[in-house]
Amino acid sequence: MPRRLLAVLAVLLAVLLRPAVGDEGMYPITELSKLNLKAKGLQIPVSEIYDPKGTGTSLIEAIVHLGGCSASFVSPDGLIITNHHCVFGAVSAASSVQNDYLTNGFLAPARGDEIPARGMTARITEEMRDVSAQVLGAVKPDMDPLARAKAIDDRIAGLTKEAQAELPGKTIGISEMLAGQSYLMFISTTYRDVRLVYVPPRSIGEFGGEDDNWVWPRHTGDFSFVRAYAGKDGRPADYSADNVPYHPRRFLKVNPNGANEEDFVFILGYPGRTYRHQSSYYLAYEEQHRMPHVADLNQWQIETMEELGKGDRAIALKFDSRIKGLANTMKNYRGKLDGMRKLGLTAARRDEEAALQKFIEADPGRRAAYGTVLADTAKIYDEMAARFQYEMALDSLASMSTLLRAASTVVEAAGGAKPAAPAPGRGSANLFAAYHEPAEVRFLQKLAEMAGRLPQGQRIAPIDERFGGDFSAENVRRHVEAGVAAATLTSQEALAAAIKQGPEAGAQSADPFIVLARDLAPLQRQLRETRQRRTAELNKLSALLIDVRQQYLKKAFIPDANSTLRFTYGRIRGYSPADAVIHKPHTTLDGVMEKTRDEAPYNTPQAVRDLARARDFGRYRLPKTNQLPVALLYNLDTTGGNSGSALMNARGELVGVNFDRAWAATINDYAWNEAYSRSIAVDIRYVLWVTAKVGKADFLLEEMGIRGNR
Amino acid sequence: MPRRLLAVLAVLLAVLLRPAVGDEGMYPITELSKLNLKAKGLQIPVSEIYDPKGTGTSLIEAIVHLGGCSASFVSPDGLIITNHHCVFGAVSAASSVQNDYLTNGFLAPARGDEIPARGMTARITEEMRDVSAQVLGAVKPDMDPLARAKAIDDRIAGLTKEAQAELPGKTIGISEMLAGQSYLMFISTTYRDVRLVYVPPRSIGEFGGEDDNWVWPRHTGDFSFVRAYAGKDGRPADYSADNVPYHPRRFLKVNPNGANEEDFVFILGYPGRTYRHQSSYYLAYEEQHRMPHVADLNQWQIETMEELGKGDRAIALKFDSRIKGLANTMKNYRGKLDGMRKLGLTAARRDEEAALQKFIEADPGRRAAYGTVLADTAKIYDEMAARFQYEMALDSLASMSTLLRAASTVVEAAGGAKPAAPAPGRGSANLFAAYHEPAEVRFLQKLAEMAGRLPQGQRIAPIDERFGGDFSAENVRRHVEAGVAAATLTSQEALAAAIKQGPEAGAQSADPFIVLARDLAPLQRQLRETRQRRTAELNKLSALLIDVRQQYLKKAFIPDANSTLRFTYGRIRGYSPADAVIHKPHTTLDGVMEKTRDEAPYNTPQAVRDLARARDFGRYRLPKTNQLPVALLYNLDTTGGNSGSALMNARGELVGVNFDRAWAATINDYAWNEAYSRSIAVDIRYVLWVTAKVGKADFLLEEMGIRGNR
């Protein structure tokens, strides 16, 4: 008893004496020296992470931007670790019925067996230059917002071109850090030959699937290994059998002992987008209009496809990927809406702005400079809210109907307007991948219903004309069915043939969808121009708003995430997601077995089941509990794009691979908070255990310098 | 820091030194003296709970069997506390559109305003007598199982009659405790005049509704107060305005300080049914056949009704109660199935039986007595499994179709067979409450589909004849629609009229459902007889199996719950429902507010919202956290029927009102386990706070002896 008590006491003391750590912030690498990281727990000099003047190497040279994900080098021979979901597309492309690498996993027994990861490139950020003065030098005080935005864009293009001439072979990007205030140039090298090395079976790498997405406790082995190749001269090259493994200037040391509760950890990666400095009007628009609308519409689409796919596996498979995308967004938005409601985020921001307005008006100089910023911002969002149903209907027309999307592609090729909707995945190659006529009919009915409900003054004339103004279910059904029956672009082949026929085909076709696409094009162009104008105005207003808020709050803002290299730090730490519930920061293989079923996404491979039964955890066994760690939770500030980021300990050693956030942390995009902002990594111990014991790829552990693996 | 540390240390010491407490067991009150409860934490003599020879009073005299629920006296004037859901029906019956007590709650400002709780009686168990010898004296060794069962039933009826003559005015019941082994006679008094005193609004008493059913963390104020009345002589009487409050021999002292984590607590109540001594064959039948079938069928019915009710509030309301009942069972079964799978319960019991068989065969005497018990038991369940689809189809015919149920009622009244299905709720008064023709059509189609899929040799001839053997969807639809169109018993009025017409009406009617009910009656009678035979055989085999298992395991079994008065004890304690998740044993009003929405079942009343905002928790405030406790969790062994049970502390004072189990504890019915068996009470502090602050019924607190409420 006394020994046990002493042990508990030691833990207690550690907890009571622990430094308060973890802070809002995806810090630009250029700002690390301001953070006093030594006091926070970092045990290496900041110059080890990034040394602007240094001649040696620093950790950022081990950090890779891999497609939309983050990743890191873990060997001198260019071995890269990232998430399974980051290589999903490439593995899928490399798979066939005979070699189903996606389902069964993939291991290249030797370097010569590594196969190209189609479409993947590895970019390493090497240098950052502050170009704020040059960029803003293009702005004249009397410019209107559109002219101002164009001047900035032109100057950025010019600076980029100059730098490219100066630095041949480098990738140059200039990013706006604080809206209309600060700009950084990023100089990087992009390696174009990336190959698959080890990918665990999908039932490990995607364990829990869509069910567990955004969920803690999590049990997903979401990691994979790829390798960057270079020409024989060590420089970027297109794929060639003659290429050689790239030798990075720096790679991360892998720490096979992982990290424990309350350890200091940090992440270097490429977070995508956050919206922390936006006005209450933006938040209200997202909360009351855009997110609930999109979430509901996605849910409707998912339910419709699930209903149609019920009882027909082939159709269900067709819808699988589309449902997945819609569900991911829906779940993220529902999480955000839940968080906004619980936190009263919009009201709090509004209260802050009321105080801010008083602060502005208390001083004549401030009043002159910022007096109407909030009111002008409100006006833009008021306009967006007033025209919301119309704009969403136009967007949905451009995105929900496959036939209309195909038709727009032809119209666009014929010189019509570029459709406002996002591009259909990777090129139009997959446009018909999820096409199923009964679903198309339902979607078109839904679109007609949406258009039919629009208020006077916001009607979509081409749609009203189609239905003769009669939006009764019966009339809509009849018109939609007749339209679909008369459609000609109903397959990828038909679409390709139409595009091949040249611009005239599109301009002259009588296909009802091509005609409709042609009629809608001017409205979509108009909407696009409206949005450009709003963006330009908001950019100018944002610059002013951030400016005066920084004065008012007496602090320098950390720029919102914008897909550039960032640093965030904190601790391995659990949290309380709800009254009476505590979530601990580590999951274990026992939890994998608790969730295991005989069906995806919980169909754990037999090898794992056998190892779990035998409790064969090798050196990764936690001695006290005889368990194997799987995933870990920490209070760092991450968002989409941080997928695949290296999670490092106080000494900069790799202890996990970041891949998701907990449900409550979907709200991170608007606000970070110690109470609920938690991100999720796969524990390096699970990575190494799976690679060695399931993948039988001990040689990869050796390459990473892990000895005595068993 | 040192003071904080000392406090933590004290808690730690208490945890480390805490006695291991909590044990499987819903103990018959007659066995308390064997439990050494003082060592377990009880601070009053066992004779305070039940004193078989005593002349004073004991706690069991404060315990009330209230309908299918448990309850307890909390004042000298017959005030009774139980669950909100236990008085739900009575409150519903007392409500009108003008006085919607169910929605708004009810408080009788004075005793004269207390209103009858329709259908409720309060029964107090006063004495128990072991009548095993008398009952088993009726059994002769050479009796076959059916004769043996009949002899036992006859002897029980005889003994009951004798006792009733001896004890006029008392309620006599004899219950089998261990199958075919032990029998107890319960002597009680039943008070028939019960009145509503205080019922909180439904948004407190049913907060969380079906969503939170079987769920922890829980935030339901599931309590209500009623009062027992007696004639002026103090004896049971039918309702009369002249009746007076009943003065119980004993009532529970209410402790307004509640109970805290790790406190010893116990429950006295009337748990309904458990199945802990059943064979692996029973478990396999439940796990593989009955429960998944019923859960799936309930889910199908729920989804069908939800679909039909979508967009039509009146229809949705019609289905509400039926959906609730189906959902409760479905959720319970899914929880059990989940638990059985996780625990491998059936396989473990099978392994134990394999060892038991070896033990039996190791001794010639045992082999002679028990050698074929397991094999004979297996044979019965094999027969049940083989005929499962047939029997379920026949059961579903008798329960799912309202028209067929109505027809069976008429056929029964006409002297036909009593239908095998359970009675439709409280008499046939509500038979058409959820009736909706489109749902009926879908249900009949589903029933036809089930009957159509039956294997040869197990066909239901009357159904085959109806459809001419053609179970194609089209033919089924046509026949069902024609049948429903020709039905005459389509309302409660039509049914009442038909019954009133006398037996001939039913015998001669050409209503297609009456004809079908008549044709099905012999099959249902046959099934009922088959089940009687199986029950008799299993009862005999169970007696032998329990006998030899007790020898083998060297322990005396605690009888399964059977709606008789039981005692269970343990501690207020949280648990880990899943890997990396900890559930604490107390919820708070902050959690209520977290869940609060503007819609049922989370529509917290404004009064509560205001009090929560003001943190006006009176004397019930937890000083350390400034929170108000709402519900609590403990490792006691409970099941259905324990609803409303008094949760008492070590001194026998009321600290909560039991109302549910946590999800994982649905498996309690088969096996209790310290790791997952957790039951849920509303904390007495929340009861008193709601009654005083929301109900403004301070006078009830005074009646319970609570002073200084504010």
Residues of B within 8 A of A9 (CB-CB) are 9, 12
Q: Is B706 helix (H, G, I), strand (E, B) or coil?
A: coil
Question: Using only C-alpha atoms, what is the Rg of chain A?
Answer: 27
Which of the two residues, A144 and B77, has the higher pLDDT score?
A: B77
pLDDT at A673: 86
pLDDT at A374: 97
Q: Check A594 against B5: CB less than 8 A apart.
A: no
pLDDT at A7: 54
Q: Check B588 against A581: CB less than 8 A apart.
A: no
Contact status, residue B675 vs residue B575, Cβ threshold 8 Å? yes
pLDDT at A426: 35
pLDDT at B422: 37
* pLDDT band at A14; cut points 50, 70, 90: very low
Q: Check B581 against A584: CB less than 8 A apart.
A: yes
Give the mean pLDDT of A612-634: 94
B631/chain A closest Cα distance in angstroms: 10
Say if residue B11's pLDDT is above 60: no
Give the mean pLDDT of B149-154: 94
Report the residue of chain A nearest B591, measured CA to CA: A579
Residues of B within 8 A of A591 (CB-CB) are 578-580
Q: What is the pTM of this model?
A: 0.86
Q: Check A578 against B586: CB less than 8 A apart.
A: no
Q: Is A494 helix (H, G, I), strand (E, B) or coil?
A: helix
pLDDT at A18: 43
Report the residue of chain B nearest A589, measured CA to CA: B579
Give the mean pLDDT of A552-563: 92
Q: Residue B567 forms beta bridges with which residues?
A: B27, B268
Interfacial B residues in 339-368 facing A (CB < 8 Å): 342
Rounded-to-10 torsion of CA A636, A637, A642, A643: 50
* Probe site for chain B from A4, A18, A216, A579 (most B CB atoms < 10 A): A579
* pLDDT band at A179; cut points 50, 70, 90: confident
Nearest C-alpha neighbor of A705 from the set A654, A658, A630, A659: A654
Give the mean pLDDT of B627-641: 95
Residues of B within 8 A of A573 (CB-CB) are none
CA A694/CA B410 separation, integer angstroms? 66
Which of the two residues, B685 and A622, has the higher pLDDT score?
A: B685
Give the mean pLDDT of A667-688: 93
CA A50/CA A29 separation, integer angstroms? 7
pLDDT in tens, B423-475: 333 334 578 888 999 999 999 999 999 999 999 999 999 999 999 999 999 99
Q: Check B580 against A5: CB less than 8 A apart.
A: no
pLDDT at A37: 94
Residues of B within 8 A of A579 (CB-CB) are 217, 219, 587-588, 590-591, 594
* pLDDT band at A709; cut points 50, 70, 90: low
pLDDT in tens, B34-43: 899 999 999 9
Q: Establish if A5 touches chain B: CB-CB under 8 angstroms.
A: yes
Q: Check B9 against A9: CB less than 8 A apart.
A: yes
Single-letter amino acid code for the residue at B314? A
pLDDT at B3: 56
CA A296/CA A288 separation, integer angstroms? 12
User: Average per-residue pLDDT in chain B?
Assistant: 91
Say if residue B242's pLDDT is above 50: yes
pLDDT at B16: 45
DSSP A259: -
Assigned token pair, B444: 């009949």
Give the mean pLDDT of A455-464: 94
B191/chain A closest Cα distance in angstroms: 40
CA A195/CA A115 separation, integer angstroms? 5
Residues of A within 8 A of B12 (CB-CB) are 5, 8-9, 12
Give the mean pLDDT of A134-149: 92
Of B219, B580, B591, Cβ closest to residue A586: B580
Q: Establish if B4 touches chain A: CB-CB under 8 angstroms.
A: yes
Q: What percent of chain B has pLDDT over 70?
A: 93
Nearest C-alpha neighbor of B665 from the set B633, B697, B694: B633
* pLDDT band at B409; cut points 50, 70, 90: confident
pLDDT at B395: 95
Q: Establish if B11 touches chain A: CB-CB under 8 angstroms.
A: no
**What residues contact residue A570 under an 8 Å CB cut-off, 6+ apart?**
A21, A22, A23, A264, A265, A266, A634, A635, A636, A637
Residues of B within 8 A of A2 (CB-CB) are none
Say if residue A341's pLDDT is above 90: no
pLDDT at B86: 95
Report the residue of chain A nearest B17, measured CA to CA: A1
Single-letter amino acid code for the residue at B140? K
**What residues contact residue B267 under an 8 Å CB cut-off, 6+ apart?**
B567, B568, B569, B636, B638, B642, B645, B646, B647, B648, B658, B679
Say if residue B1's pLDDT is above 70: no
Nearest C-alpha neighbor of B193 from the set B266, B269, B118: B118
* pLDDT band at A321; cut points 50, 70, 90: confident
Q: Establish if A13 touches chain B: CB-CB under 8 angstroms.
A: yes
Nearest C-alpha neighbor of B484 from the set B543, B407, B539: B407
Residues of A within 8 A of B590 (CB-CB) are 579
Contact status, residue B381 vs residue B285, Cβ threshold 8 Å? yes
Say if residue B692's pLDDT is above 50: yes
Nearest C-alpha neighbor of B573 from the set B678, B480, B647, B481: B678
Q: Is B562 helix (H, G, I), strand (E, B) or coil?
A: strand
Give the mean pLDDT of B638-644: 94
At residue A224, φ and ψ (nearest 5 deg) are -155, 160
* pLDDT band at B8; cut points 50, 70, 90: low
Q: Check B583 against A578: CB less than 8 A apart.
A: no
Q: Check B581 against A579: CB less than 8 A apart.
A: no
Q: Check A583 against B580: CB less than 8 A apart.
A: yes
Q: Establish if B5 touches chain A: CB-CB under 8 angstroms.
A: yes
Q: What percent of chain B has pLDDT over 90?
A: 77
CA A371/CA B341 separation, integer angstroms? 66
Say if residue B706's pLDDT is above 50: yes
Residues of A within 8 A of B9 (CB-CB) are 9, 12
Q: Establish if A306 touches chain B: CB-CB under 8 angstroms.
A: no
A8/chain B closest Cα distance in angstroms: 8
Nearest C-alpha neighbor of A643 from the set A37, A82, A24: A82
Contact status, residue B305 vs residue B322, Cβ threshold 8 Å? yes
CA A418/CA A401 separation, integer angstroms? 16
Interfacial B residues in 580-619 facing A (CB < 8 Å): 580-588, 590-591, 594
Single-letter amino acid code for the residue at A141? P
Say if residue A25's pLDDT is above 90: no
User: Average per-residue pLDDT in chain A?
Assistant: 91
Q: Is A277 exposed, middle or buried (0-12, 13-18, 19+ CB in 10 A)?
A: middle
- Among the residues of B344-387, which ranges form H helices? 345-361, 364-370, 373-386
Nearest C-alpha neighbor of A420 from the set A588, A332, A532: A532
Contact status, residue A676 vs residue A659, Cβ threshold 8 Å? no
Q: Establish if A181 touches chain B: CB-CB under 8 angstroms.
A: no
Say if residue B333's pLDDT is above 90: yes
pLDDT at B416: 47
Q: Check B594 against A578: CB less than 8 A apart.
A: yes
Give the mean pLDDT of B375-383: 97
* Strands B182-191 and B575-578, bridge-based pairing: unpaired
Residues of B within 8 A of A303 (CB-CB) are none
pLDDT at A468: 92
Q: Check B580 against A588: CB less than 8 A apart.
A: yes
Residues of B within 8 A of A8 (CB-CB) are 12, 16
pLDDT in tens, B100-135: 999 999 999 999 999 999 889 999 999 999 999 999
Assigned token pair, B226: 């009623």
Assigned token pair, B166: 């001896």
* Interface ipTM: 0.85
Report the residue of chain A nearest B339, measured CA to CA: A594
Q: Check A217 against B4: CB less than 8 A apart.
A: no
pLDDT at B505: 67
CA A82/CA B84 separation, integer angstroms? 54
Nearest C-alpha neighbor of A662 from the set A641, A686, A683, A636: A636
From residue A314, how far is each of A28, A308, A601, B47 by CA, in Å? 47, 11, 18, 69
Residues of A within 8 A of B574 (CB-CB) are 580
Report the residue of chain A nearest B216, measured CA to CA: A580
Q: What DSSP string describes B42-105?
A: --S-HHHH--TT-SS--GGGGEEEETTEEEEE-STT-EEEE-HHHHHHHHHHH--SSS-HHHH-
Of A217, A579, A587, Cβ closest to residue B217: A579
Contact status, residue B487 vs residue B405, Cβ threshold 8 Å? no
Contact status, residue A223 vs residue A200, Cβ threshold 8 Å? yes
Report the residue of chain B nearest A216, measured CA to CA: B580
Report the residue of chain B nearest A627, measured CA to CA: B579
Degrees to nearest 5, angle at CA B166 with B160 and B168: 90
Q: Is B622 exposed, middle or buried (0-12, 13-18, 19+ CB in 10 A)?
A: middle
B217/chain A closest Cα distance in angstroms: 6
> Which of A40-44, B176-180, B231-235 has the weakest average pLDDT?
B176-180
Say if residue A3's pLDDT is above 60: no
Residues of B within 8 A of A12 (CB-CB) are 5, 8-9, 12
pLDDT at A253: 98
pLDDT at A8: 52
* Probe site for chain A from B579, B586, B588, B590 (most A CB atoms < 10 A): B579
